[in-house]
């Protein structure tokens, strides 16, 4: 299907970024929100991205105005009457998303694709609010959308092959890397990333290391930023909600630290509120108090911290994703490289596992399980691989054929 015009619902940081990306590709796009104030803020955010490009000499002021002319602000559903695709980018509230999709279903042309930018909610559940579930799909951008290269494209239970083909082509036309991901809670990248973030919080809560020490260690490992800096930028409210979805879906291995619950309850969401794991204004950080409370309530004792304590749970979850056919090994590595900044020098998450040895990863998980419990319960696939001698580079076969 040819796409000549797009729409975006939600003019916040994510929606405005998506609208900017679409306009940069040369497509006209309608950016809608509930009030003119929100729409104007979204348009200003898109303009700011272009202004940064002008300052860097990557485009002229005239080209900036040409691109901005492609974005139309709106507060009316009527402006979606001639779009070919709409991307919803509102908060992670299933009832709200279903309400929006019901409205889109009424106003959009019959051929239009209705896409959700949800990071963890069920595409199939959202599609149930429409009379065209075959044309509903997940198109998940990563924050910030103008910068991050990855898009996860997720079919629901009734998404048609034609819708998937058009959605993948559309995503690639935005100069992005589009990866098809089987529908599951958390999809792919968030499902792999949350164990990494979660374990960092557990290590901090135990007193195994400070937030800065953990962040510095992971940057030294090769990550673009540490887990606490990342969580503060993503928003601890987003991490909290995604974490709850994953815990409900995957049980004890996805259970969040009580420290995260305390930060969320105190509305310490990170950079957006001025305080999270770090403080971004002149207030006194409540983190030391929360750490004392957690240690008293849980009776945790000081553990130890190594980068492997954060990386191995990601490899373990990737193995679960392979068992469930969520994505291929290649797509997992591409997604981690493009979606999280996993160090390219290590080749990708599963390439890294092959390098250190699948047997070493399994042994590490078992050791961590003996210390910290069910969060580190190894995926059965890892045991089968080690039993078959598929241990990675030294065995010339692992997640990839290394012959």
Give the domain ranges of the chain: 6-180, 188-403
Percent above pLDDT 70 for the chain:
100
Q: Is the pLDDT of residue 130 over 70?
A: yes
Residue pLDDT, tens place only, 8-55:
999 999 999 999 999 999 999 999 999 999 999 999 999 999 999 999
pLDDT band at 300 (very low <50, low <70, confident <90, very high): confident
- Reported pTM: 0.92
Class of domain 188-403 as given by CATH: mainly alpha
The candidate with the shortest Cα–Cα distance to 178, out of 141, 147, 146, 133, is 141
Position 403 confidence tier, pLDDT thresholds 50, 70, 90? low
Question: Do the domains at 6-180 and 188-403 have one common CATH topology?
Answer: no
Question: How many whole angstroms separate alpha carbon 5 and alpha carbon 64?
Answer: 19
> What is the structure's pLDDT at 52?
97
Mean pLDDT of 150-165: 98
pLDDT digits (tens, 9 = 90+) for 379-400: 999 999 999 999 999 999 999 9
Task: Indicate if 152 belongs to the active site.
Answer: yes
Q: Tens digits of per-residue pLDDT, 360-380? A: 999 999 999 999 999 999 999
Q: Which of 88, 152, 206, 317 is catalytic?
A: 152
350 Ramachandran zone, left/alpha/beta (phi>0; psi -120 to 50): alpha
| Phi, psi of 138, deg, nearest 5 | -95, 130
Angstrom CA distances, 165 to 1, 10, 36, 159, 161, stand at 9, 25, 35, 10, 6
Q: How confident is the model at residue 143 (pLDDT cuts 50, 70, 90)?
A: confident
What is the architecture, at CATH level 2, of domain 6-180? Answer: 3-Layer(aba) Sandwich (3.40)
Query: Residues 111-139: what's their mean pLDDT?
Result: 97
pLDDT at 283 exceeding the cut of 70: yes
Average pLDDT over residues 208-218: 97
């Amino acid at each position: 299907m040819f796409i000549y015009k797009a729409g975006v619902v939600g003019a916040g940081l994510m929606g405005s970024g998506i609208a900017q990306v679409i306009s940069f590709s040369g497509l006209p796009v309608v950016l809608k929100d509930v009030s003119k104030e929100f729409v104007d803020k979204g348009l200003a955010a898109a303009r700011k991205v272009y202004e940064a490009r002008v300052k860097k000499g990557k485009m002229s002021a005239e080209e900036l105005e040409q691109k901005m002319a492609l974005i139309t602000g709106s507060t009316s559903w009527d402006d979606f009457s001639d779009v070919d695709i709409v991307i919803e980018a509102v908060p992670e509230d299933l009832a709200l998303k279903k309400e929006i999709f019901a409205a889109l279903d009424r106003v959009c042309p019959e051929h239009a694709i209705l896409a959700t930018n949800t990071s963890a909610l069920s595409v199939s559940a959202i599609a149930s609010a429409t009379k065209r579930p075959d044309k509903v799909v997940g198109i998940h951008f990563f924050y910030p959308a103008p910068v991050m290269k990855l898009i996860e494209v997720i079919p629901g239970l009734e998404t048609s092959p034609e819708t998937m083909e058009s959605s993948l082509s559309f995503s690639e036309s935005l100069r992005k890397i589009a990866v098809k991901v089987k529908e599951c809670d958390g999809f792919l990248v968030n499902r792999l990333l949350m164990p990494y973030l979660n374990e960092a919080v557990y290590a901090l809560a135990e007193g195994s290391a400070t937030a800065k020490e953990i962040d510095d260690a992971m940057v030294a490992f090769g990550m673009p930023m540490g887990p606490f800096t990342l969580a503060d930028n993503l928003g601890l409210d987003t991490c909290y909600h995604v974490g709850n979805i994953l815990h409900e879906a995957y049980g004890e291995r996805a259970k969040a630290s009580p420290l995260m619950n305390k930060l969320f309850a105190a509305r310490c969401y990170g950079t957006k509120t001025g305080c999270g794991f770090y403080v971004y204004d002149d207030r006194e950080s409540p983190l030391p108090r929360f750490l004392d409370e957690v240690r008293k309530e849980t009776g945790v004792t000081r553990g130890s911290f190594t980068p492997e304590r954060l990386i191995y749970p990601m490899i373990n979850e990737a193995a679960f994703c392979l068992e469930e056919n969520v994505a291929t090994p290649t797509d997992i590595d591409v997604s981690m490289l493009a979606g999280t900044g996993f160090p390219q020098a290590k080749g990708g998450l599963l390439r890294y596992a092959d390098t250190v040895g699948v047997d070493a990863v399994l042994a590490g998980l078992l050791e961590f399980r003996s210390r910290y419990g069910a969060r580190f319960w190894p995926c059965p696939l890892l045991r089968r691989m080690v039993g078959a001698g598929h241990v990675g580079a030294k065995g010339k076969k692992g997640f990839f054929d290394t012959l």
